[in-house]
Structure 1
Amino acid sequence: MGLNLDRVVTGSGSTPLDQLVQQLWQGQVDTGEVRVVIDPAPNPNWQEQESYWVLPGIAHARILVPRADRRVTAGSLLQYSALRPWKANVVRNGLGYVAHTGVRPGLHRLSVQALVGREGPPVASRLPIAEVQGQLQALQNSVDQHVQLHASIGIRTGDNRKPTLQLIDSLGRPAGYAKVAWNESSRQFITTETAVLQEIGNSSAAMRAPGLLCSGELHGFPYLVTAPLPPDVRAVRRGVEPPTSREFYSLCPVVRMDHVATSIHFQQLCKRLSAPVSAGDLELLGVANHLAGVLRERNPRMPIAERWHGDLVPWNTARDTAGVLWCWDWESSERDAVAGLDAVHWAFSVRRESGMGASTENLSASILEAGQHLHAAGLRTDSWADLAAIYALVMTERAWALARENGGWVRSWISPKELMDLMHAAEGKLTAPLLG
């Protein structure tokens, strides 16, 4: 960890806390306006701005929970327990009940501090709490003390990492969910999700997306905040019904039948795959562009949807007790895409989460498992191989883009060899009469 003798996290290391500093406070840390310190002793030169408990510990931090009133700290741990796997709940629920009694839930705390006596305007927070607080106060037309907000911060270290904030009010109730961009790739994700939610948030469709509370920029990067999910939602696992065909296409309706080359999504996908590439990825992108060329030459007629979600998976969906399906994380959504991609991605991701990996057999099986939803969209069976090839290209382009952004494939969930195997298998299926 990038720690000095005062236990200051500098952001220069590779630990989870260093990575969080890089994502939230690095610019202010570098100028000397702010420091992020573990278990600070009193120091007249620094004034605390934010304070959190570090869980489960500083070496393997996964979440920062607010060091505040016991209701706030406990609420940040106990809310939405039905969205998490049972093993995670055992730990979080235990810590939440401990916090509810007033006992500290962690051994260490993290303090974000501003330099005392510096010239210029006050140090501005990188967290969009004030913006949401103002929005809620405007909605309530009051300055109700319960509008005072706190944030628990999820620490993400994967290739698509960005700070995520669960906002909690003074009574420990959910008040919103925020994402904060910190680099160019996360900027694009936040911008995309904001635009989509402005169109479909708060709809009454069969599948629903959370409403957009507010969005804007902080320190030159965008953020968004969505309304909280219903408190009774359950993850789409362990007996909770997966999406129906009606739900798959309720926010992503089929709008026409057309040749695949007319799809804006396919055109943009091919354009991204033809971007300049480093020597180490030449073979991967060569295989991808060859497969894209085969698809352009075949140019089958396929159903085209208004958009696709882009990452419709069990961990981004939940049902409330009325049975309504809620879906979030629209940051990968793209317009004018071949219908059925979400159904295939769902099946493939369920198999991946079950430990089946990214094998070519799983791609073929996923197409078959999504079959009823592909039929519902009007996708002919003899075009299923084309859909599999498009999906293989999508996975390749996304993984390559994130690896390029992060300087390599170390954090990627899939390897270049696995991607090439998938694309070779998908091309082989294009000449077969049926998948399987």
Structure 2
Amino acid sequence: MREQPDATRPGAWQVDGSGGTALDALVRQLWAPWVDEGAARVVVSRSLSGGPDRREAGDGWRTRERYWAAPDARAATMLVPAVGPRRTAALLKAYGGLRDPRTAAVRASLASAARCGLPAGLDRVDVQVREGADVALPLDRLRSALHRPDAVPAIGVRRGANAKPTLQLFGAGGEPVAFAKLAWDEQSTRYVETERTTLEELAGTPGVAAVLASGEIEGRPYVALAPLPPDARRVRSAAAGPSAPELARLAPAVRRGHAGGTEHLRGLDERLGRHDEQDRADLELRRATRSLLEAVFADRTELPVAARWHGDLVPWNVARAGDGVLWVWDWETCEPDAVVGLDALHWFTHAPRRPGPGELATRLRSAAQDATGTLLALGCGRRARELVLAVYALVLAERGMALARARGGWGAVLVQSGDLLEAVRDIARVTFPRGDQRGESGH
């Protein structure tokens, strides 16, 4: 963050997005077009009072939005809107059932402090607009699209190659109003467009949030979704996760065919081709992945093909409401026309936690066993299950390589190259034990 003195508030500084903190990243993602052109600025100041400070900068700027950075500006994970004590407490306690125990306890403590008039963070973040400038910031656009001028957002402050601005919007009484995602670069544009398109296709499906508004802000797409039921709770065990009927509701089988004839696998083949052209590292992983892909393409087994697969069905992307309905969100990696069962394997691989170092190959074997009943109910016999596992291993390998390239190496990737190589080779031995490609019924 760039320090810049403020005469009216000693110790204040501006965040212009040029630094390396998560808050800098959020400024780049959310307010950069206006900050870069000098129409807006983001000012941070330390304050020990939770009361509303009506002083303006006094130098031609007006505060349009005001937040508390929790826990502070340099380590912020969330921007909490600076509103009244009751409203702040209500929005901090919203969806407590979706939080892990530690996060839920922190939010509850902040809510208790807010009710006493204390701030939700050590630093205040003011988004200011130059006086006389005709500026419609993202929040202005969302309020207008949702017809909710009273809405205020709690904003997630995130890092990572896939990070994008996410705003949980609340009304005057602290009630949830909408959840919005905004694109800011090419990658997030693809994700937001995919989510918007998929949710429009799934409109009316139980457990899928409705699209309340969508459009573009500064040439980038956004989507605003209806809030989850207030009583939604985390799914805390693998067994309590998506059932076969629930998976079939979200991604119904629409035909039978060869794995190599799916749109999903052809797209994966194309992406792997780009890795082959651009990457000089990970030669063994690329060769093993390519070999397994070619074997899957050559196999003539027919198996059920779904209209889509979610792409990231994990415990932190699902919840159950009080009526038992499974709610699923984060459809940004959804892909159409994929073999049935990939979501089941992804679920059992990541529930209740992600695989740790050196665990991937073992976890995939275990997930395949745990998912057997679900896959059988979805129409996958023994050979079909082997092929679905092979396709899933290919997905993980390609995603790992893509993330490593996006982040400039494997240092920030959770699953390492060696683990993926071991997993791909292990699944290849299971699926094609003699290097053959057998064509038989999927049952």
The two structures have a TM-score, normalised by structure 2, of 0.89
Q: Deviation above 6 Å: which 4+ runs of structure 1? A: none
Equivalences for residues 230-379 of structure 1 within 5 A: 230-237=229-236, 241-275=240-274, 276-353=277-354, 358-379=359-380
**CA pair 77-355 structure 1, distance change in 2 beyond 3 A:** farther
Name the structure 2 match of 1:33. 39
CA contact (8 A) 1:61 1:155 kept: yes
AA at the equivalent of 1:90:
A
- Superposed displacement of residue 180, structure 1: 0.7
- Superposed displacement of residue 46, structure 1: 1.6
Name the structure 1 match of 2:9. none
CA distance in 2, matches of 1:390, 1:252: 17
- Superposed displacement of residue 130, structure 1: 3.7
Give 3-state SS (helix, strand or coil) of 1:250's partner.
Answer: helix
CA contact (8 A) 1:132 1:214 kept: no
Q: Deviations over 1:219-249 (max 9, x none)?
A: 1111101000110111111699322111111
Equivalences for residues 2-401 of structure 1 within 5 A: 2-5=2-5, 6-39=12-45, 42-117=57-132, 122-127=134-139, 129-136=140-147, 148-204=150-206, 208-237=207-236, 241-275=240-274, 276-353=277-354, 358-401=359-402
- Superposed displacement of residue 281, structure 1: 4.5
AA at the equivalent of 1:249:
A
CA distance in 1, matches of 2:284, 2:375: 32
Give 3-state SS (helix, strand or coil) of 2:380's partner.
Answer: coil
CA distance in 2, matches of 1:238, 1:96: 28
Name the structure 2 match of 1:140. none
CA contact (8 A) 1:51 1:66 kept: yes
- Superposed displacement of residue 277, structure 1: 1.7
CA distance in 2, matches of 1:240, 1:281: 36
CA distance in 2, matches of 1:238, 1:86: 15
- Superposed displacement of residue 156, structure 1: 1.4
AA at the equivalent of 2:89:
A
Name the structure 2 match of 1:428. 429
CA contact (8 A) 2:168 2:176 kept: yes
The two structures have a TM-score, normalised by structure 1, of 0.90
- Superposed displacement of residue 352, structure 1: 3.6
**CA pair 180-420 structure 1, distance change in 2 beyond 3 A:** same
Name the structure 1 match of 2:441. none
Count of equivalent residues:
417
AA at the equivalent of 2:278:
V
- Superposed displacement of residue 311, structure 1: 1.0
- Superposed displacement of residue 134, structure 1: 4.2
Q: Deviations over 1:277-318 (max 9, x none)?
A: 232344433332222112112242221011111111111111
- Superposed displacement of residue 398, structure 1: 2.2
CA contact (8 A) 1:2 1:18 kept: no
- Superposed displacement of residue 216, structure 1: 0.7
Residue identity (%):
38
Give 3-state SS (helix, strand or coil) of 2:214's partner.
Answer: strand
**CA pair 404-3 structure 1, distance change in 2 beyond 3 A:** farther
AA at the equivalent of 2:136:
A
CA distance in 2, matches of 1:408, 1:36: 32
Gaps of 5+ in 1: 138-146
CA contact (8 A) 2:166 2:180 kept: yes
AA at the equivalent of 1:92:
R
Give 3-state SS (helix, strand or coil) of 2:75's partner.
Answer: coil
Higher mean C-alpha displacement, 398-407 vs 209-218: 398-407
Q: Deviations over 1:101-158 (max 9, x none)?
A: 322222111111122355xxx122133x543444346xxxxxxxxx510001011112
